[in-house]
Amino acid sequence: MTGRILVVGSLNADLVVRTERFPRAGETVSGGDLSIGAGGKGANQAVAAGRLGGDVSLVGAVGADANGELLRAAVSDAGVDIATVSVRDGVATGTALITVAADGENTIVVSAGANATLAPADLTDDALAGAAVLGLCLEVPVATVRDAAERGRAAGVTVLLNPSPFGPAARELAPLADVLLVNEGEAEALLGVVEGAVASDPSAVRDGFAALGVRRAVVTRGGDGCLVVDGDAEPAHIPAVRITPVDTTGAGDAFMGALLLRLADGDDLLAAARFAAGVGAFAASRPGAQASYPTAAELRAFRA
């Protein structure tokens, strides 16, 4: 049994269209049928951990509409406690417009909707009490993320921050995280280093994080695996699990959900990241976001 996982974050209805390639500026391309699925970074991360057997609660907000009902049901079906997912009148549920190309890469445009209403007061002391780890992303207001991180650390909860969608707030919030999860481009932007520095000079990357007040971080690098920074130790590289990508939508959130799970279970950061790499690969080998996330049994079969 893992420690309790608390996620404060977004819930979005994912509107997905598949196409051979992304359109250029001003261009129209043909796509396949429109599908509507459950997504949002916060919900995705909670569902990924819940499907793997974690004890997970989600703090978030949806609109009083059909998409909100769909999202609450999907998260609950994954075993996540949705008692603190609020239903807001007069505002639409958050929506993500997703295009998936033939090579599995995606583009995403998010309309925040009810996610923009999530306030510090929505995270109650009762919800925070007893949590082992707290997962945060930036699809909800920065003030809410900052408050949750500060209160989590004060309560002795391990705070895992994924500062995505990436922007200026990442530098402000990074020192509040016990563990920072970023992709390679985000790390380079955050540290002000040249492209390729994560691969070519991991020690400088570690030192750059330390200068920001970040002692522990995981930098994901897609098909090149990930880099784990843990204190003063030499950063460690974890190779990617080799797959044929089908759809990378939500694979990063699957990685974070798995990282939350194993940190809550007491794993060190390197072991947790190694496990998460397998979960992210599983997700990228199947279509959809939450629909692609494995149960523990499915993951064992995948890794066998």
pTM of the model: 0.92
d(CA 59, CA 234): 36
Q: Say how many C-beta atoms besides its own lie within 10 A of residue 12's C-beta.
A: 32
165 upstream amide cis, omega within 30 of 0: yes
Q: Is 207 known as a binding-site position?
A: no
**Three-class SS state of 246:** coil
For residue 304, what pLDDT is reported?
67
Alpha carbons 167 and 131: distance in angstroms, whole number: 28
Q: Is 253 a catalytic residue?
A: yes
- Annotated binding residue 9: no
Encoding tokens for residue 162? 């994924």
User: Which residue of the set 253, 265, 267, 268 is catalytic?
Assistant: 253
pLDDT of residue 248: 83
Domain assignments of the chain as residue spans, ordered by start:
4-10+41-93+113-303
Residue 267 marked ligand-binding: no
Q: Which helix (H) or strand (E) holds 269?
A: helix 269-284
3-state SS, residue 226: strand
**List of the chain residues with pLDDT < 70:** 1-2, 304
Write out pLDDT tens, residues 264-282.
999 999 999 999 999 999 9
What CATH number should be reported for the domain whose range is 4-10+41-93+113-303? 3.40.1190.20
**What's the pLDDT at 1?**
52
The one-letter code for the residue type at 248 is: T
Calpha distance 260→263 (Å, rounded): 5
The confidence score (pLDDT) of residue 247 equals 85
- The reply, when asked if residue 13 is annotated as ligand binding, is yes
pLDDT digits (tens, 9 = 90+) for 135-169: 999 999 999 999 999 999 999 999 999 999 999 99
